[in-house]
Each structure stands twice: as structure tokens, then as C-alpha cells.
Amino acid sequence: MDEEQTLLAKVAEVRPLSVLDVGCGDGRIPSLYAAPEVVCIDSSEASVEAAARRGLDARLADAQDLPFPDASFDVVTCNHTLYHVADREQALAEIARVLRPSGRFAGIYNTPAHLREVWEAVGAVWARDSFDSENGLPLLQRQFSRVERLIRGGTVMWLDAADLQAYLDAYRELLGVLHAPEGPYPFVATRAKCIFVAEAA
């Protein structure tokens, strides 16, 4: 996907010796990082186990209290995770603390346009305080200098209602039970992702 290619390029650009991925999930994205040391953390044991199965150095930890000394990493990434964290400012302060001076932060998040057609069709409303390309920007600017937003995307298509229902079911915990619209299918929606790239002060 375009946004992941851009993220990988932004990580590789600074030729990091050490990268920390915060909220690694199953470790798929950090497993693609080109660096001698890649460390992952996640607050879910199942995620840590899944990332470890990929051969990653994965540890159980909270983004709001990172178990690393100051200035430990050349790059810190945090993809699709800050909207799950209760105290985003604290998590970003922790990320800035463990980055070395002039180190790089990068993270993939949604723009408000992302899958707009789907959420409108199913009547779902994202929490107003969600971390996205717009409301995430001022939070990042408080911790980092030179915050850049790169927009990538295109379209996404679900071939039938069962296909879209399976996608919606993955959001049950966040948004409640959602029912796939009756059509028309294929259902086409906008993909619009943002890659934040920021520099530690």
C-alpha cells in the first residue's frame, strides 16, 4: 500500500541504527523496517506474541510509560495506535523522550476523508477526539519540530455485502454493531491516509 511504502522510505531515509515501533500489533509493519535494531512494544499480550513469532524483539509495555532511557532510538514509529491511547499527549511526550535529538517520528493515520462513504452509509460516527491527520497535527507540533503530513491513498472496493460486513465486524469494539449497506456493490470508497513525519527537537 502506498502509505506503507512512504512510511518505509521515511524510516530508511535517515539510515537508523535503532527503531522503536509503538503499538506494533502483529508486527507486520515493523518486520519490514531496514535497521540493525528493531524493538516493538504493545500493551496486548496477544500482539506481543504475534510480533515475537515474526522474530521481532517484542515487549509488553504501555505507550504512556515507555520502558527505555531517554534518547534510546534514532526513529520511533507509531501507526494506527494513538487513537486507542487514553492520554495521547503523555504517549507523544514519551515518544519524544526516547528519541535521540534530531531523531525522527513517523506514523500512519487516517484523514477525515478515509472511507467516508462507508461510515456515511452505515451511520457510524467516529469519536470526535480520535487522532487523525487534522486533530493529531497540533498534538505533534507540541512535541516535535517540523511536522510534515504526506497524504496517500486512492480507492478501496468491497465486492459484496458479506465482504464489507467482515470488514465492519472488525470495528465492533470501537463502533458497536454495524450492518453492511444493501448496495450498490461493488461498494467503492475513498482511501485517504496520512503519514506524519516529525523531527525531535
Per-position x/- string for 5-34, each x denoting binding to ligand SAM as judged by CB under 6 A, each - no binding: ------------------xxx---x-----
**Is residue 196 within 8 Å of residue 79, measured between CB atoms?**
no
Please, which residues bridge with residue 42 across strands?
Answer: 60
Stretch that binds ligand SAM, among 42-50, 134-142, 170-178, 190-198 (CB under 6 A): 42-50
Stretch that binds ligand SAM, among 62-70, 123-131, 170-178, 186-194 (CB under 6 A): 62-70
Nearer to ligand SAM, 84 or 161 (CB): 84
Tell me how far apart the alpha carbons of residues 13 and 7 are, in angstroms, rounded to a whole number: 10
Burial of 168 (0-12, 13-18, 19+ CB in 10 A): buried
Q: Does residue number 107 form part of the binding site for ligand SAM (CB under 6 A)?
A: no
Residue nearest to ligand SAM (CB): 25
- Least distance in Å: CB of 182 to ligand SAM? 28
- Least distance in Å: CB of 137 to ligand SAM? 19
Nearer to ligand SAM, 92 or 121 (CB): 92
Of the residues 19, 39, 63, 147, which one makes contact with ligand SAM according to CB under 6 A: 63
Q: Does residue number 42 form part of the binding site for ligand SAM (CB under 6 A)?
A: yes
Per-position x/- string for 66-105, each x denoting binding to ligand SAM as judged by CB under 6 A, each - no binding: -------------xxx--xx--------------------
Of the residues 31, 43, 90, 190, which one makes contact with ligand SAM according to CB under 6 A: 43
Tell me how far apart the alpha carbons of residues 146 and 47 are, in angstroms, rounded to a whole number: 32
Cα dist. 24→32, 76, 163 in Å? 12, 11, 26
- Least distance in Å: CB of 31 to ligand SAM? 11
Q: Which residues in this chain contact ligand SAM in the complex, by CB under 6 A? A: 23-25, 29, 42-44, 47, 62-64, 79-81, 84-85
